[in-house]
Amino acid sequence: MLGVERVVWIRPWRGPGGAPTNLSNSTAATTTTDFTFTVGDAEAQTEFWASGSVLTTLPTSRATYQHTGLTANSSATYTARHLRNGQYSSFDTAVTGWTAPSVPPAIVTTTGALEVKVSWTTAHVLPIAVYRDGGYLLTASTSSAYITDSGLSSGVAYGYRVAHVGSVWTGATTSTSTATVS
């Protein structure tokens, strides 16, 4: 009598089909920072890491993450990798994520001949964006404590606000400080 052979194929667990890519720090606030990335495997979960520790595991197909509860003007190194069936992809290239600093202390305006001096009282390591009457005026360097806005019209009141700026975000602005040019 002939024996019957039975062939059984064992299908191995399939790991992630690719790693996440294009990780970037998209926006920041004083206590949060947002990230986006390209999903490398739509069926895999994504582990999100900060400074060498797992922060969270995101559900499949999710391509954003918001890190909350942070300190203003802080940074960490972030990366991500996929997890599927107990197997991991390689890590995406690490990026530095920043939170925005607190609003700069109140600004002071003084007027001269057809000009306004706008100054702020803060020890800052980031550039300061200056706004006049709701529109962007200029960005002052990290070593500046004031700017002079000249060529203005006599008898006109101008409103100024300032905010810290980073490479991909602008922090909260101060309240408006008004000066009338003489």
32 burial level (CB within 10 Å; 0-12, 13-18, 19+): middle
Cα 141 from Cα 155, distance rounded (Å): 30
Largest pairwise CA distance in the chain: 114
Cα 173 from Cα 86, distance rounded (Å): 46
Quote the pLDDT of residue 46: 94
Give CATH for domain 107-180.
2.60.40.10
125 burial level (CB within 10 Å; 0-12, 13-18, 19+): exposed
Quote the pLDDT of residue 4: 65
- Per-residue pLDDT of 46-84, as tens digits, reads 999 999 999 999 999 899 999 999 887 788 899 999 999
Quote the pLDDT of residue 3: 64
By three-state DSSP, how is residue 58 classified? strand
Average pLDDT over residues 78-103: 87
Quote the pLDDT of residue 72: 79
| 110: its two tokens | 């003084």
Q: Which range scores top for mean pLDDT: 18-32, 73-87, 120-134?
A: 73-87
- For the chain, the structural domain boundaries read 21-98, 107-180
Architecture of the domain defined by 21-98:
Sandwich (2.60)
| 154: its two tokens | 């006599």
| 95: its two tokens | 């990026």
- Per-residue pLDDT of 126-160, as tens digits, reads 788 999 998 999 998 877 888 999 999 999 999 99
pTM for this prediction: 0.62
